[in-house]
Amino acid sequence: MATRTDFTQPQAGSQGFARTGKTFGRRVSFLTTDLVLNGVVEAFMVPAGFTVTGIIAVASDMDTNGTPTLALSVGDSGSATRHLSSSTIGQAGTSTQTLAATGLLYTYTADTKILVTASTAAATAAAGTLDLYLQGFMQ
């Protein structure tokens, strides 16, 4: 399965002072072909020096089956589950603000793509969206 990039331009601009609160993210579009086992979508980039303190993830219903199975993870190339591990938010269009322990206070040392992985495929995939934001500060 090929990785699909869903963003078109860099997200980082002027970074301001150290420890100034920053939020990186956007609405990520998902095609039905992205919701297969281990399907990966590149959501956005975070800059070097960004330390993560929180997450906001709001999904539409991307598994319309009566017994949905879709699970989504959020991470990077070093850990597919660094920020969110096998969340069921895409099964019925719900949200979460629970950051995985491995993501709390994690500092990126290089500009890094944030990846969303379908860790369990959808039973009946439906195109949808994930509003995904990482909160934190710059070192």
What tens digit of pLDDT does each residue of 74-127 get? 999 999 999 999 999 999 999 999 999 999 999 999 999 999 999 999 999 999
- Give me the chain's average pLDDT, please: 92
Phi and psi torsions of 96, nearest 5° = -150, 150
pLDDT tens digit string along 8-64?
655 555 556 667 789 999 999 999 999 999 999 999 999 999 999 999 999 999 999
102 within domain boundaries: yes
Sign of the C-alpha dihedral computed for residues 53, 5, 34 and 29 taken in this order? positive
10 within domain boundaries: no
* Contacts of residue 127, Cβ cutoff 8 Å, sequence gap at least 6: 29, 30, 31, 32, 62
> pTM for this structure?
0.89
Is pLDDT above 90 for 2? no
Helix (DSSP H) and strand (DSSP E) numbers for the chain = 0, 9
8 within domain boundaries: no
86: domain CATH number? Answer: 2.60.120
6 within domain boundaries: no
Phi and psi torsions of 8, nearest 5° = -120, -10
Name the residue among 79, 83, 61 with its Cα closest to residue 70.
Answer: 61
pLDDT of residue 16: 60
Categorize the per-residue pLDDT at 134 as very low, low, confident or very high, splitting at 50, 70 and 90. Answer: very high
Structural domain range at position 127: 25-138
Q: In angstroms, what CA-CA distances link 68 with 15, 46, 62, 105?
A: 41, 31, 9, 33
